[in-house]
């Protein structure tokens, strides 16, 4: 084999799986997966997380729509400055939108008012998951 | 890749009375391969552990939606790929203001169990990390898993021509990194 500092071709490097699990990891993996699946049959609290994310999104959209209603077209920076850091962090945590995408949306799209947004938020967990998956695929 | 138990395993998975047992066999059969695919993407073992468990939970939930029109491993790898990519997207987003997530992945590489001070392997892993995530996934499937382009196409939904171009470009980028 060539000296390591002279290797320039992939074919000169021995193919080796170096990212292996710690010893014994695989022995307990089956059990942990099956236990998690059993646990999912009961209430997991996942819905609470989803609703928390939706609540944060609603707070964000509502705050922005209220600002727009006041008549002045504020800049995206000004709009975001009015929303609490917690709401933004929570929203970003559970959404696949990047800040750049949000800024872009603010610059081009009309933000929906409270009346037009709220009735549509009566969604099941499955519907919410579908929406999130859709963003993941297109992201 | 051999699908020795595919038909019996599939029949058992579809039957509610044997589903649990069949799924246990599926986990046992595929856990190492799923871990390998995921770990090479997320790098950190603890992150890989979380993602692998999510993959199998998703497989369990979606058994009824699997129609058997693609190979079982294709379906499993597809879900594993999607979960790993989704994890990385979330990680990237969380780190938007706090640093480059690739640097964090590279740090995990430095501390990875199994590197055993093998400098050239570490350099190769760091070279692979410079690739965009989807290209990295394709590279790993071709180079490490030794899948055919047609199989990778079925997993990723990319054309064979596109995959060939992506892989060759990835190899070039890696070799350029190696001579630095």
User: Which candidate in B13, B35, B178 is best for mutational testing of the A interface (most A CBs within 10 A)?
Assistant: B178
Minimal-distance CA residue of chain A relative to B174: A10
Cα–Cα distance measured from residue B142 to residue A43, given in angstroms and rounded to the nearest whole number: 41
Q: What is the CATH number of domain B1-96?
A: 1.10.1740.10
Max Cα–Cα distance, chain B, nearest Å: 58
pLDDT in tens, B15-34: 888 888 999 999 999 999 99
Q: What is the pLDDT of residue A108?
A: 44
Among A123-132, B21-30, B116-125, top mean pLDDT goes to B21-30
Is B45 within 8 Å of A22 when comparing Cβ atoms?
A: yes
Is B179 within 8 Å of A8 when comparing Cβ atoms?
A: yes
pTM recorded for the entire structure: 0.67
Q: Are A40 and B147 in contact (CB under 8 A)?
A: no
Q: Is the pLDDT of residue B57 over 90?
A: yes
Residue range(s) in chain B whose domain bears CATH number 1.10.10.10: 117-180
**Which residues are CB-neighbours of B88 under 8 A, at least 6 positions away?**
B41, B42, B101, B133
Computed over every residue of chain A, the mean pLDDT equals: 66
DSSP state of B157: -
Higher pLDDT pick, B31 / B101: B31
Is B27 within 8 Å of A16 when comparing Cβ atoms?
A: no
Among the listed ranges A68-72, A85-89, B74-78, B99-103, which one has the minimum average pLDDT value?
Answer: A68-72
Q: Are B90 and A94 in contact (CB under 8 A)?
A: no
Shortest distance between the Cα of B122 and any Cα of chain A, in A, equals 9
Burial state string for B32-71 with b = 16 or more CB within 10 A and e = fewer than 16 = eebbbbbbbbbbbbebbbebbbbbbbebbeeeeebeeeee
Handedness of CA B166, B92, B44, B115 (dihedral sign): positive
Which of A34, A93, A139 is nearest residue B24 as measured by Cβ atoms?
A34
CATH class of the domain at B117-180: mainly alpha
Using DSSP, state whether B80 is helix, strand or coil: helix
Q: Is the pLDDT of residue A118 over 90?
A: no
Residue range(s) in chain B whose domain bears CATH number 1.10.1740.10: 1-96
**Which residues are CB-neighbours of A72 under 8 A, at least 6 positions away?**
none
Domain boundaries, chain A: 77-110
Say what percent of chain A tops pLDDT 70: 35
Higher pLDDT pick, B90 / A135: B90
ipTM: 0.83
| B166 torsion bin: left (phi>0), alpha (psi -120 to 50), beta (else) | alpha
pLDDT in tens, B60-83: 999 888 877 788 899 999 999 999
Is B39 within 8 Å of A32 when comparing Cβ atoms?
A: no
User: Which candidate in B31, B41, B65 is best for mutational testing of the A interface (most A CBs within 10 A)?
Assistant: B31
pLDDT in tens, A15-62: 988 898 999 999 999 999 999 998 876 544 444 455 566 666 777 676
Q: What is the pLDDT of residue A59?
A: 72
Q: What is the pLDDT of residue B96?
A: 72
């Amino acid at each position: 084999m060539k000296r390591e500092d002279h290797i320039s071709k992939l074919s000169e490097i021995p193919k080796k799986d170096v990212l292996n699990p710690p010893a014994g990891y695989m022995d307990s993996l089956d059990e942990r997966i099956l236990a998690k699946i059993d646990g999912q049959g009961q209430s997991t609290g996942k819905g609470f997380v989803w609703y928390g994310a939706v609540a944060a999104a609603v707070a964000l959209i509502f705050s922005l729509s209220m600002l727009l209603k006041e008549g002045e077209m504020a800049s995206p920076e000004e709009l975001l400055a009015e929303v609490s850091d917690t709401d933004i962090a929570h929203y970003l945590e559970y959404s696949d939108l990047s800040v750049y995408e949000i800024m872009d949306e603010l610059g081009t799209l009309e933000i929906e008012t409270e009346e037009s947004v709220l009735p549509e938020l009566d969604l099941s967990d499955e519907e919410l998951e579908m929406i999130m998956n859709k963003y993941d695929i297109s992201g | 890749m051999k699908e020795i138990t595919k038909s019996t395993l599939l029949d058992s998975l579809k039957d509610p009375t044997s589903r649990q047992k069949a799924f246990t066999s599926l986990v046992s059969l595929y856990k190492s391969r799923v871990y390998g695919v995921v770990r090479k993407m997320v790098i950190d073992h603890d992150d890989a552990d979380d993602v692998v468990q999510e993959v199998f939970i998703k497989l369990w939930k979606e058994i009824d939606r699997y129609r058997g029109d693609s190979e079982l491993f294709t379906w499993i790898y597809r879900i594993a790929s999607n979960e790993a990519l989704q994890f990385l997207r979330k990680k990237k987003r969380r780190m938007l203001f706090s640093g480059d997530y690739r640097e964090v992945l590279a740090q995990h590489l430095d501390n990875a169990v199994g590197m055993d001070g093998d400098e050239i392997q570490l350099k190769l892993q760091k070279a692979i990390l410079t690739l965009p995530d989807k290209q990295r996934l394709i590279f790993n499937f071709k180079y490490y898993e030794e899948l055919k382009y047609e199989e990778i196409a079925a997993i990723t939904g990319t054309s064979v021509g596109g995959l060939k171009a992506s892989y060759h470009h990835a190899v070039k980028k890696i070799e350029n990194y190696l001579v630095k």
